[in-house]
Chain A
């Protein structure tokens, strides 16, 4: 296969049907950022260790740097750009701001997508649940304290 010959991929992206061209060797992360202009997903490591590129694929949390772009054909992708709804910040986004849960902010999109996946599955997690779930996301600035508090605050607000 010519890895540079582009193919068309049809997917549901942040709730809307989307068709994009990509090279077979491109990762989903690369396609999102370079082909679709969705820069909110970040590359921190490129091999699935930092979580800065996390997106939801059919509702399941994945590292978009470990998914090839053609794999999302016919599937549902939600990125950080699809978390706020109808112009309103998601409660996680609001609580991250209120708790000062970000310093540099590069890991923040990945954390918010990951935390959403957790709360979608488990609306009332314990502190340990949150820490275990978020262990796939690296933050070097905060020591995680204010991130964990923000997620717990959202969970408490919901329950």
Chain B
């Protein structure tokens, strides 16, 4: 194991000490200059001749039957070119397909684009308008008359599972481990993972902690609102320019929704202004296509407002969670139970399955049970959000672990090492670990200067927490063109959200033993390479990087073969070292060889991969907080994250992922939540009231990159994008306990929630005091 700590100033130079030419250096990204000068083209920046502007009308009700829609007044407004409703969508089949990151029922997918019989959340799209400018489109949308029959809203797990709960989807039946129920319900599915003997494990325990927790709905919070432009050409060919984590996921979803063959749709990915899982589902894309078709084959651009983004995209699930863990007198976990109730939003598909895997993953446990419940409520259909479902459950588990360690009188890091998962241990669902780095991340925190340093002062506290994310392999396609000047064009289709053009190009450069600057990486459209899965699951640098590695090997091999012909030797007789090909007395530097080998025939390579053996990621984090006892406001004084990154290809972007995930986790922990009134209206659909962390809310975030190489990748890469968001809420909650003596059982630990809990504790303490004693 190696670990690298950021020492306060970025190491901008190549480290040159790791045996690699390119890997481990920190070059400037290929798209960098365009992004600092304002030239980079994002989805809302797309312009073209004859462009019309779309607007989407949304439901003012959380739950309502749509009796009728009258669009005549909107259509009559001068400047309006087209109006569409769900009646313009083909009738979708009630079948399940995997179109991105997880399975989706096509009927629900279509229903979420434009509501058919019912509006199922405040902000649910009902109709679309295209006009000659966005102002007219908005005016026209306001002229559409929708006759709603409002129904009682179902906003939480408890509402949804109540005996007399209103039903959201009339045809929904509970899928209980494959068995389909017969009653109408809001419980979409139930599953259970179990092993060992849970009862015996709890009977054997010397100490058991059993707690319940509540977390609120939060949004991914990308700064770029969703936007798309569609052109339905007169020849039937369709092009969509959009900001997405997966251009092929957009293609496949739109083609299913509109029932057109994939050959008729090309998706051109623009630059993307953040996604975090929230830019996999399509929203405005199919509406723009319908409008373009109806408006006489003119292009239509739809740009969401921030309020629409918050009301109708994302978010991730609120949840009710119970965690019960027993330990023996030595502090070894003897049994653990987790019950996870996740709110999916208006259609089935919360991340509760992934949450179950995350739940107890950092620990080696013989007797366990994890139950998952996927529940629909009148909130936006939930979308993936960075390690989907993980932060909720880790908050609960890490709070209970902290309480156990405290009651045992054990250091919380020691408790995690004693019980930590290692190679050959099993995840809650039974998947066995290969080489993993959980213990190493705990040790890195335990030995860090941060953890070793004293923390003094009133209302200050320190907390740690661990987390797991499985990562993903997925399918990737890429091609490489060797230019006669010794550069290589790398064409790949993985959306670059945080520097992956650089990290993928670096792997190709390393494989070919050439400089990073010799590789020109670009993200291409769906007509240019084969199928490519979304940038999600922390898979891109791993899997598309693997494709780039293969491209490098192929190009080198073919260059050797052609040089062997030229030099009249066996291909095996040609060697390539330090950027020079040689055989016998002949030798040729790479750049010259690139020209020579293409005198007779051009050279390019293609690679498709679908790696199954992707290495999971673990992270352990330490935070110091200070609580203002007057206001309940939490100040983050210091933060350190240790994460097993396998091998950091571009360390700056790895640190960036770690720091960004922590920042989002802190926002989730202390501020962010969807606030609804009793009728299910979203009250805080703005960035003033949906309060994400600012620069002033955070300290520098210290990073410790633990490198336990992943055995199934040529450079040891593990996905690094997601696990960092799993521990922060637990770590902050544990620090708040140290600072205040209050164990928070809900997120966010906002000033109001924390003050209420502190006052309750004071009242409890006062009641216990002997009269007259102060």
Interface of A with B (CB < 8 Å)?
3-4, 23, 25, 33, 37-47, 49-50, 52, 79-81, 83-84, 89, 92-93, 96-100, 102-109, 112, 127, 130-132, 134-149
Contacts and interface: CB of A to CB of B under 8 A. Distances in A.
B12 interface: yes
B33 interface: yes
7 contacts: A33-B45, A49-B687, A92-B36, A104-B273, A104-B275, A107-B223, A146-B656
A43 B693 CA distance: 19
Most buried by B among A42, A79, A80, A107: A42
Give the interface size bracket for B toward A: 35 or more
A5 B86 CA distance: 34
A47 B223 contact: no
Contacts of A97: 28-29, 32-33, 36
Given A44-B306, A47-B688, A149-B9, A104 B497 contact: yes
A142 B656 contact: yes
Given A43-B44, A97-B28, A100-B652, A138 B37 contact: no
B664 interface: yes
B224 interface: yes
Contacts of B29: 97, 100
Given A47-B688, A97-B36, A131-B695, A142 B305 contact: no
Most buried by B among A46, A143, A146, A148: A143
A49 B498 contact: no
B40 A105 contact: yes
Q: Is the interface of B mostly helix, strand, loop or mixed?
A: loop
A137 B37 CA distance: 17
Interface stretch (B166-174, B176-184, B508-516, B696-704): B696-704
B223 A106 contact: yes
B42 interface: yes
A138 B693 CA distance: 8
Contact of A145 (B221, B272, B659): B659
Contact of A39 (B45, B306, B499, B660): B45
A10 to B, nearest CB: 23
Contacts of B35: 102, 105, 108
Contacts of B275: 104
Contacts of A80: 37-38
B659 A42 contact: no
A52 B10 contact: no
B653 interface: yes
Given A38-B38, A81-B38, A140 B656 contact: no
Nearest to B665: A143
Given A100-B26, A100-B652, A143 B688 contact: no
B688 A49 contact: yes
B135 interface: yes
Most buried by A among B41, B223, B687, B700: B223
A84 to B, nearest CB: 6
A104 B272 contact: yes
Nearest to A130: B695
Interface in B634-669: 650, 652-653, 655-656, 659-664
A41 to B, nearest CB: 7
A14 to B, nearest CB: 11
Interface of B: 9-10, 12, 26, 28-29, 31-33, 35-42, 44-45, 47, 135, 220-225, 271-276, 303, 305-306, 497-499, 650, 652-653, 655-656, 659-664, 686-688, 692-698, 700-701
A112 B659 CA distance: 20
Contact of B692 (A25, A79, A131, A140): A140
Given A106-B42, A146-B659, A135 B696 contact: yes
A140 B135 contact: no
Nearest to B703: A145
A148 B221 CA distance: 20
A5 B696 CA distance: 43
Contact of B225 (A37, A44, A83, A137): A44
B605 to A, nearest CB: 29
A141 B656 contact: yes
Q: Is the interface of A mostly helix, strand, loop or mixed?
A: loop
Most buried by A among B39, B656, B701: B656
Given A141-B274, A146-B659, 10 more contacts: A40-B37, A44-B687, A50-B223, A93-B33, A106-B273, A106-B274, A109-B36, A137-B695, A138-B692, A143-B663
Given A104-B273, A106-B273, A140 B660 contact: yes
A131 B10 contact: no
Contacts of A104: 222-224, 271-275, 497-498
Contacts of B701: 143, 145
A139 B38 contact: no
Contact of B38 (A39, A103, A127): A39
Contact of B660 (A33, A83, A141): A141
Nearest to A25: B135
B686 A49 contact: yes
Nearest to A147: B695
Nearest to B272: A104
A72 to B, nearest CB: 18
Most buried by A among B222, B660, B664: B660
Given A80-B38, A104-B274, A135-B696, A44 B223 contact: yes
A98 B363 CA distance: 39
A147 B652 CA distance: 12
Contacts of B303: 43
7 closest A-B pairs by beta carbon, nearest first, are: A40-B38, A106-B273, A143-B663, A105-B35, A100-B652, A143-B659, A103-B498
Nearest to B663: A143
Contacts of A134: 694-696
Contact of A37 (B47, B663, B686, B693): B47
Contacts of B135: 3-4, 23, 25
A42 B42 contact: yes
B687 A50 contact: yes
Contacts of B26: 100
B223 A52 contact: yes
A136 B305 CA distance: 19
Given A44-B223, A50-B687, A104-B222, A143 B37 contact: no
A109 B38 contact: yes
A28 to B, nearest CB: 15
B223 A140 contact: yes
Contacts of B31: 105
A93 B695 contact: no
Contacts of A130: 695
A89 B39 CA distance: 13
B505 to A, nearest CB: 15
A144 B666 CA distance: 13
A148 B533 CA distance: 34
Nearest to A127: B700
Given A49-B687, A103-B653, A104-B498, A40 B39 contact: yes
A141 B498 contact: yes
Contacts of A93: 33, 36-37
